[in-house]
């Protein structure tokens, strides 16, 4: 697996950090994810293992005596925009137990009940909850229906939320509008590139939409067929006859991939998802922070995956980047997150998101929610205007 989730542990390592790592792996098993999807990084392997273009979450374990380790590595992570959770041990002693470079981060006051919270923060940073593990299968019905259904079932068994047009769109919904909306909300597209795939207008449109939304594609190229150039992030896999059961690849109803190939493909989907989530979230954060800097805002990226702005009155505004389609539950979860940040005097909370190709009725719903909820949403196309006015 080329792209992995990176859990980085720094600072005063020992029994506590080991306990957190053990619990992290236990939770991974509960999510039915393989250990191979992750790597644990510390000061010993940082220079050889860390990659700035892969999703990362760092935990800095403080020191009660103020003897700070791994400060140089921490500085690299701060400059990379990596999410860092400082863990300290004595109430009102954050500045004594955590290095100055992390003074603007929201720290966690540790006690024995906080182990699971630390692990959950890491899992949330990687967006590894089932509801957010979304995959879109793009295919031509007259050529690859049986394989599409096979992949739908295999990915669902591995805790993915899979979109397949024949299974996922309710009768009466405007088909193409709902298709684009669902694609916007997915993490990876598995594209079954059969010989006549690009003869379909809608199939070529799906590729264009994936490019526009910067969604990663795994392209399965059928035997005796050529690779198509597409997507800023695309993993091409040239299929051979023996990747199919009984070497049958040209029967829309009977063709099935081998179990070994499907298992390997699931790993590739997880790898692509890791890379793509990092890319999409980075792009959203970068665009927002660039506009914020343009308008002279004082902002910091926090370990819970939100951006804080320091206001002149001593309070902070909170901006939470959301990949995909925001839901009202995102607003509620955001309120719960802020309630837990007791050290903050919060002025307001906002979800920021890319509104491209989200259904109008959903955008209208989000605008309507802005009139009733404490958490407000801000569209990507409105970043500049909103920051100029606020």
Percent of the chain with pLDDT over 90: 29
Least confident of 51-60, 114-123, 207-216, 320-329: 320-329
Quote the Cα angle for 135-125-26, to 5°. Answer: 85
Q: What is the mean pLDDT of the chain?
A: 80
Q: Read off the pTM.
A: 0.60
Provide the pLDDT for residue 86: 94
pLDDT over 50 (residue 167)? no
pLDDT digits (tens, 9 = 90+) for 51-101: 988 889 999 999 999 999 999 999 999 988 888 999 999 999 999 999 999
Q: Which CATH number fits domain 5-126: 3.40.30, 2.160.20, 3.40.50, 2.60.40?
A: 3.40.50
pLDDT of residue 330: 47
Would you say residue 328 has pLDDT above 60? no
Is residue 218 a contact partner of residue 268, using CB atoms and an 8 Å limit? yes
Q: Collapse the DSSP code of 137 into the 3-class scheme (helix H, G, I; strand E, B; otherwise coil) and give the result.
A: strand
Single out the residue of 29, 31, 2, 98 nearest to residue 59, CA to CA: 98
Q: Could you tell me if 298 and 362 are in contact, meaning their C-beta atoms sit under 8 angstroms apart?
A: no
Q: What is the pLDDT, as a whole number, of residue 119?
A: 87
- Whether the per-residue pLDDT at 181 is higher than 50: the answer is yes
Instruction: Kindly report, as residue ranges, where domains of CATH 3.40.50.10140 are found in the chain.
Output: 134-276
Answer yes or no: is pLDDT of 363 > 80. no
Of 165, 159, 225, residue with least CA distance to 198: 225
Res 272: pLDDT: 79
List CB contacts of 363: < 8 A, sequence separation 6 or more: 355, 379
Residue position matching structure tokens 């829309």: 252
Statement: residue 106 has pLDDT above 70: yes
The CATH code of domain 134-276 reads 3.40.50.10140
Cβ pair 347, 341 in contact under 8 A: no
Contact between 161 and 187 (Cβ < 8 Å): no
Gap between the Cα atoms of 353 and 351, Å rounded: 7
pLDDT at 2: 63
Q: Give the pLDDT band of residue 169 (cuts 50, 70, 90).
A: very low
**How large is the angle between the packed helices 15-30 and 115-125, nearest 10 degrees?**
60
Q: What is the pLDDT of residue 6?
A: 93
Residue 337 has a pLDDT of: 55
pLDDT at 193: 87
pLDDT bin (cut points 50, 70, 90) of residue 146 is: very high
Tokens 């137990």 correspond to 97
Q: What is the pLDDT of residues 287-298, one digit of tens each?
A: 898 999 899 998
The region that residue 250 occupies, defined by phi over 0 for left and psi between -120 and 50 for alpha, beta otherwise, is alpha
């Amino acid at each position: 697996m080329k792209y992995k989730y990176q859990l980085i542990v720094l600072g005063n390592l020992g029994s506590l950090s080991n306990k957190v790592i053990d619990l992290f792996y236990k939770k991974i098993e509960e999510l039915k994810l393989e250990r191979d999807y992750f790597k644990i990084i510390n000061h010993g392997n940082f220079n050889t293992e860390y990659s700035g273009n892969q999703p990362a979450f760092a935990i800095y374990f403080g020191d009660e005596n103020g003897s700070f380790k791994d400060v140089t590595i921490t500085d690299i992570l701060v400059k990379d925009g990596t999410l860092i959770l400082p863990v300290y041990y004595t109430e009102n002693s954050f500045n004594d137990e955590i290095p100055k470079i992390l003074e603007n981060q929201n720290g966690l006051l540790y006690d024995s009940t906080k182990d699971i919270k630390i692990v959950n923060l890491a899992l949330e940073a990687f967006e590894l909850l089932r509801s957010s593990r979304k995959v879109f299968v793009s295919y031509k019905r007259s050529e690859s229906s049986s394989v599409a259904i096979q992949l739908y079932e295999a990915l669902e068994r591995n805790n993915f939320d899979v979109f397949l047009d024949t299974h996922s769109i309710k009768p009466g919904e405007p088909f193409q509008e709902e298709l684009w909306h669902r694609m916007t909300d997915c993490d990876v597209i598995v594209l079954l590139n059969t010989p006549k795939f690009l003869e379909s207008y809608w199939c070529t449109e799906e590729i264009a939409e994936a490019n526009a939304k910067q969604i990663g594609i795994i392209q399965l190229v059928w035997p005796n067929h050529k690779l198509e150039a597409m997507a800023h992030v695309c993993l091409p896999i040239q299929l051979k006859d023996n990747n199919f059961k009984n070497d049958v690849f040209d029967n829309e109803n009977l063709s099935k991939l081998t179990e070994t190939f499907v298992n390997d493909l699931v790993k590739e989907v997880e790898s692509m998802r890791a890379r793509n989530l990092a890319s999409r979230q980075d792009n959203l954060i970068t665009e927002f922070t660039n506009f914020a800097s343009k308008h002279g805002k004082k902002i910091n990226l926090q370990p819970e995956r939100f951006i804080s702005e320091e206001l002149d009155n001593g309070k902070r505004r909170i901006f939470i980047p959301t990949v995909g389609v925001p839901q009202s539950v995102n607003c509620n979860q955001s309120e719960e997150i802020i309630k837990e940040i007791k050290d903050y005097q919060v002025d307001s909370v906002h979800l920021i998101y890319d509104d491209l190709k989200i259904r109008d009725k959903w955008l209208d719903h989000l605008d309507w929610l802005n009139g009733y909820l404490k958490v407000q949403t801000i569209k990507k196309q409105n970043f500049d205007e909103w920051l100029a006015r606020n």
